Amino acid sequence: STEIFWATGAAMFVRLSALKKCGDLDEDFVHHMEEIDLCWRMNLAGFKLKIVPKSVVEHYGGATIIPDSYKKTYWNHRNSIFMLFKNLEGRNLPSVFLKHLLLDGIAGAWYLVNLDLKKVFAVLAAHFWIYRHIPMLLRKRKETQNIRKVADKSFSKLVYPHSIALRYFLFKEKTFSQIMKNK
């Protein structure tokens, strides 16, 4: 058993005390990343998340959203910004947020160069959703930060320190083991 930052929602047991303290899955995520958000909140509240290596779970991923689609691109970009804004510690928010916006711009440019207009529009739509919902995002950020008991650095060792997007797109590292080999 080892400590982790997040677990997939397809294979997760959560203590009722953690849910009472941190809240349920955030329904405003709609699709995608809601379990990462919940795990992040549990980390902020000081809970420890662990894996049970002997467990076996079978899950067919991608059944709800087609992997290479407008919707998948939209939810990836929208929910990652949403999650960062909601959960990052105040002093870490500006730098991480700006880096993320830059990476979104690079992704949008990449899609444009490759004439994948549906993904260009998906990235733009994700950002417009964020800008239209700033009051809600501020409220959710305040709620999340109110449960914070620990600084981001207390669990930073559990988070990959570089851009997985760059590893994936630039270096063609498609698996966890490939990415971790070059950590």
The string of pLDDT tens digits covering residues 136-170 is 999 999 999 999 999 999 999 998 888 887 788 78
Average pLDDT on 63-81 reads 90
- 3-class secondary structure per residue, the chain: CEEECCCCHHHCCCCHHHHHHHCCCCHHHCCCCHHHHHHHHHHHCCCCEEECCCCCCCCCCCCCCCCCCHHHHHHHHHHHHHHHHHHCCCCCHHHHHHHHHHHHHHHHHHHHHCCCHHHHHHHHHHHHHHHHCHHHHHHHHHHHHHCCCCCHHHCHHHCCCCCHHHHHHCCCCCCHHHHHHCC
Average pLDDT over residues 21-41: 95
pTM above 0.85, yes or no: yes
pLDDT digits (tens, 9 = 90+) for 95-146: 999 999 999 999 999 999 999 999 999 999 999 999 999 999 999 999 999 9
